[in-house]
């Protein structure tokens, strides 16, 4: 049988696709890149915002239109929060909630009585990374979250924290390394909470084991809550295989707003953390999330946020306009911010964030760094490769010969690309 896998949303959803693909392939089924070619279509949905839920619905309908004869399986946060609605959607044959998604391939094969080939029918250790490229793989290390930020619906959809065994993670990384993968991203709902449900384990201990027991060239983190990092965490980065970049979501630059959000980090603590990282590791890149227009956000609080973002100097800022999510505490807060004001504040923050990014990129000019080249395209008859520096600056290069660079790490000197904003040129 041919299976098509599709995901919306976070890197964790992407990591789950990889796990599912391995499960299907181990049973002798094929992974295909196009929905019309599939016998089974699996969609991993997102519900982090109202728009994400709407996108999930639209994609669900589109997949059915593209291949109405296929069995349509839906999982993920939107499918978990709106299980009845999704189950009653035209064309949906099976809904797998988040609590059961680790068994999704087995449930699909059991429900539809899909034929299973002998284990020897597939190459030992083979997986489907070739479908999306071999350069980077997302590794799911845990699921769920024990915290309840007032704006977040994901903790409701994903449930309590569940950590994977260290040995299982190590085995997966070594398998990927043997297949030529150059970079992994450790991902989860609450990455910094890894090990909270295991004895004598933590994110720090896990990373130590990965550095000792694997040879993967580059290791990154997905989003990590800033309050989760122990004082000695940045000592890990003395190993050059750990990439000097972290996405630390702060959500607001005003402590009073952070309290209403039930965030467990003050702006002073965040500033101290960033200072510690930049002091320990040269050119350490910090990126973040900011929510604009959280209920009750005053002009004074907004100005505090702008000052905070300018003071920190982020390499990139993900900006979200607040929208209420049914089932969250924030949805019942008083004094909502008017949509027009949210739009105005969002535009101002975008301008500030773009300036901050340009300052950051200017600081990288002239440096000689290793870049992992990911993919190529043709532009004006010339081959152009795109990749990322260790501190996650996007770089393009225009090789003078036809040397294959995809999934290769080469050293380049950085200059500004005058044609593409926010991108460096490697020469």
Q: How far is CA 370 from the centre of its chain?
A: 22
Please say if the pLDDT value at position 171 is more than 50: yes
Residue 285 pLDDT greater than 90, yes or no? yes
Residue 114 pLDDT exceeds 90: no
Residue 121 has pLDDT above 70, yes or no: no
pLDDT band at 419, cuts 50/70/90?
Answer: low
Of 350, 389, 353, nearest to 372 by C-alpha is 389
Judged by average pLDDT, the poorest of 10-14, 300-304, 337-341, 419-423 is 419-423
Q: What is the mean pLDDT of residues 262-272?
A: 96
Write down the pLDDT at residue 111: 92
Give the chain as a 3 state SS string.
Answer: CEEEEEECCCHHHHHHHHHHHHHHHHCCCEECCCHHHCCEEEEEECCCCHHHHHHHHHHHHHHHHHCCCCEEEEEEHHHHHCHHHHHCCCCEEEEECHHHHHHHHHHHHHHCCCCCCCHHHCCCCCCCHHHCCCCEEEEECEECCCCCCCCCCHHHHHCCCEECCHHHHHHHHHHHHHCCCCEEEEECCCHHHCCCCCCCCCHHHHHHHHHHHCCCCEEEECCCCHHHCCCCHHHHHHCCCECCEEECCCECCCHHHHHHHCCCCCHHHHHHHHHHHHHHCCCCEEEEEEEECCCCCCHHHHHHHHHHHHHHCCCEEEEEECCCCCCCHHHHCCCCCCHHHHHHHHHHHHHHHHHHHHHHHHHHCCCEEEEEEEEEEEECCEEEEEEECCCCCEEEECCCCCCCCCCCEEEEEEEECCCCCCCEEEC
pLDDT per position as a tens digit, 173-201: 999 999 899 999 999 999 999 999 998 89
What is the mean pLDDT of the segment spanning 398-405?
A: 80
Please tell me the predicted confidence (pLDDT) of residue 90.
Answer: 84
Q: Where along the chain do its domains lie? A: 2-121, 129-364, 368-426
Q: State residue 72's pLDDT score.
A: 95
Per-residue pLDDT at 427: 82
Kindly tell me if the per-residue pLDDT of 149 is higher than 90: yes
pLDDT at 126: 38
CATH superfamily of 129-364: tm_1862 like domain (3.80.30.20)
Judged against a pLDDT cut of 70, whether residue 132 lies above it is answered with no
Mean pLDDT for 38-59 is: 91
Query: 234 pLDDT band (50/70/90 cuts)?
Result: very high
Query: Which pLDDT score is estimated for 18?
Result: 85
Kindly report the CATH class assigned to 2-121: alpha beta
**Confidence bin at 243 (pLDDT 50/70/90):** very high
Q: Which residues pair with 414 in a beta bridge?
A: 426
How far is it, in rounded angstroms, from Cα 409 to Cα 374?
A: 9
pTM for this entry: 0.86
Question: What is the pLDDT at residue 136?
Answer: 87
- Please choose, from the candidates 220, 215, 182, the residue with its C-alpha nearest in 3D space to the C-alpha of residue 373: 182
Q: Are the C-beta atoms of residues 267 and 253 closer than 8 Å to each other?
A: yes
Q: What angle do CA 174, 178, 180 make, to 5 degrees?
A: 115
User: What are the CA-CA distances from residue 21 to residues 17, 64, 71, 252 (Å)?
Assistant: 6, 20, 16, 38
* pLDDT given at position 108: 94
Section 403-422 average pLDDT: 84
- Smallest CA-to-CA distance from 44 within 25, 84, 72, 69 is with 72
Band of residue 411 on the pLDDT scale cut at 50, 70, 90:
very high
Answer whether residue 251 shows pLDDT above 90.
yes
**Looking at residue 378, what is its pLDDT?**
82
Tell me the range of 8-17, 103-112, 132-141 where mean pLDDT is highest.
103-112
Predicted confidence (pLDDT) at residue 113 exceeds the cutoff of 70:
yes
How far, in Å, CA of 90 to CA of 73, rounded? Answer: 12
The pLDDT score that the predictor gives to residue 115 is 53
pLDDT tens digits along 66-100: 999 999 999 999 999 999 999 999 899 999 999 99
Whether the CB-CB separation of 192 and 177 falls below 8 Å is answered with no
């Amino acid at each position: 049988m041919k299976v098509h896998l599709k995901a919306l949303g976070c890197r964790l959803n992407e990591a789950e696709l990889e796990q599912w693909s391995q499960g299907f392939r181990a049973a002798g089924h094929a992974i295909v890149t196009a929905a019309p070619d599939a016998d089974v279509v699996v969609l991993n949905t997102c519900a982090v915002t109202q728009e994400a839920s709407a996108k999930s619905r639209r994609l669900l309908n589109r997949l059915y239109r593209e291949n109405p004869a296929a069995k349509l399986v839906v999982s993920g946060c939107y499918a978990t929060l709106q299980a009845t609605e999704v189950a009653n959607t035209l064309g949906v044959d099976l809904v797998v909630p988040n609590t059961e998604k680790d068994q999704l391939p087995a449930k699909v094969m059991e429900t539809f009585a899909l034929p299973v080939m002998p284990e020897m029918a597939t190459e030992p250790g083979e997986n489907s990374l070739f479908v999306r490229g071999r350069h980077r793989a997302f590794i799911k290390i845990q699921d769920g979250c024990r915290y309840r930020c007032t704006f977040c619906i994901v903790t409701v959809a994903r449930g309590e924290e569940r950590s994977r065994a260290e040995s299982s993670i190590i085995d997966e990384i070594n398998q990927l390394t043997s297949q030529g993968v150059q970079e992994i991203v450790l991902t989860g709902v609450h990455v910094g909470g890894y090990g909270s449900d295991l004895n004598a384990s933590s994110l720090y201990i896990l990373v130590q084991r990965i550095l000792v027991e694997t040879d993967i060239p580059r290791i990154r983190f997905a989003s990590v809550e800033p309050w989760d990092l122990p004082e000695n965490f940045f000592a890990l980065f003395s190993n050059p295989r750990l990439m000097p970049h972290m996405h630390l979501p702060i959500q607001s630059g005003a402590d009073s707003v952070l309290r209403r959000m039930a965030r467990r980090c003050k702006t002073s603590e965040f500033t101290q953390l960033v200072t510690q990282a930049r002091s320990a590791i040269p050119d350490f890149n910090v990126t973040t999330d900011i929510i604009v227009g959280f209920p009750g956000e005053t002009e004074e609080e907004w100005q505090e946020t702008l000052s905070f973002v300018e003071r920190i100097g982020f390499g990139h800022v993900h900006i979200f306009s607040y929208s209420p999510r049914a089932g969250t505490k924030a949805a019942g807060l008083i004094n909502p911010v008017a949509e027009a004001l949210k739009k105005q504040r969002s535009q101002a923050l975008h301008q500030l964030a773009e300036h901050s990014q340009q300052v950051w990129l200017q600081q990288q000019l002239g440096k000689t760094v290793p870049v992992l080249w990911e993919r190529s395209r043709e532009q004006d008859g010339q081959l152009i490769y795109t990749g990322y520096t260790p501190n996650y600056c996007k770089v393009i290069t225009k090789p003078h010969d036809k040397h294959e660079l995809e999934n290769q790490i080469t050293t380049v000197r950085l200059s500004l690309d005058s044609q593409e904003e926010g991108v460096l040129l490697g020469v």
